């Protein structure tokens, strides 16, 4: 059965690649903020910061003190759910995660962030209890942008979550009949695809 622009598995693979290339660059992309699920079956929406096309790896920013950092260290299995309502395309990806706190990639991501964004790493760690609603930020930085010197302690809390994709399931919700394909990463790095019933 032909389905317009998705005639072959290569068409689907290219669609996935192109959507993941666009997602971190375009805040209006519906795939800019996917749902990330860690091995403890906890889910959260995260901002996709980068996609490494050569290695099929996703990059997100996180706090090294966040509970998910310990979860990923203990169980690196991760699922990521992307959905584009306008295009009627869902991508369910699976892979292995790693938390990076040092190295060139982490330094570059920190340098590319604004001071306003960096201030999130100054306060109490994610999940810290409080007797009242709180951002966790020190009071002097509520709504204020710290300078570089004030942000020095925040760098130790900044981390990257890198997810190396190993499999994904692509679903196109077509009114003529849904179309679905699955892909698995081979040891060579190539993707093996298969059409499956929705």
pLDDT of amino acid 2: 45
Sign of CA dihedral 136, 137, 138, 140: negative
What's 9-104+163-196's CATH class? mainly beta
pLDDT of amino acid 142: 83
- Tell me the CA distances in angstroms from 152 to 32, 63, 146, one per residue in order: 29, 15, 10
pLDDT of amino acid 4: 61
pLDDT of amino acid 1: 41
Nearest Cα to Cα of residue 60 among 44, 72, 48, 73:
48
pLDDT of amino acid 145: 85
Arithmetic mean of pLDDT, 139-159: 89
Work out the mean pLDDT of the chain and round it to a whole number.
94
Look at 38-52, 58-72, 124-138, 152-166 and tell me which has the smallest mean pLDDT: 124-138
Bridge partners (DSSP) listed for residue 83: 90
pLDDT of amino acid 104: 96
pLDDT of amino acid 3: 54
pLDDT at residue 44 greater than cutoff 60: yes
Domain boundaries, the chain: 9-104+163-196
Bridge partners (DSSP) listed for residue 89: 84, 172
Look at 29-38, 73-82, 88-97, 171-180 and tell me which has the smallest mean pLDDT: 171-180
Are 36 and 92 within 8 A, CB to CB? no
């Amino acid at each position: 059965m032909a389905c317009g622009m998705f005639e072959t598995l290569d068409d689907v693979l290219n669609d996935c690649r192109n959507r993941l290339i666009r997602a971190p660059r375009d805040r209006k992309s519906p795939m800019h903020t996917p749902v990330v699920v860690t091995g403890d079956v906890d889910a959260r929406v995260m901002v996709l910061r980068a996609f490494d096309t050569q290695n099929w790896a996703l990059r997100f920013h996180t706090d090294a003190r966040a509970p998910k950092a310990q979860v990923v260290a203990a169980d690196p299995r991760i699922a990521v759910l992307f959905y584009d309502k306008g295009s009627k395309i869902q991508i369910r990806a699976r892979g292995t995660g790693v938390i990076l706190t040092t190295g060139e990639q982490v330094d570059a991501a920190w340098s590319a962030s604004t001071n306003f964004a960096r201030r999130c790493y100054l306060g109490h760690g994610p999940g810290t209890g409080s007797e009242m609603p709180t951002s966790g930020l020190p009071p002097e930085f509520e709504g204020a942008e710290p300078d570089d010197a004030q942000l020095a302690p925040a760098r130790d809390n900044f981390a990257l979550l890198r997810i190396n994709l190993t499999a994904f399931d692509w679903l196109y919700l077509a009114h003529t009949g849904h179309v679905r394909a699955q892909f698995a990463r081979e040891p060579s790095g190539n993707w093996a695809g298969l059409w499956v019933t929705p």
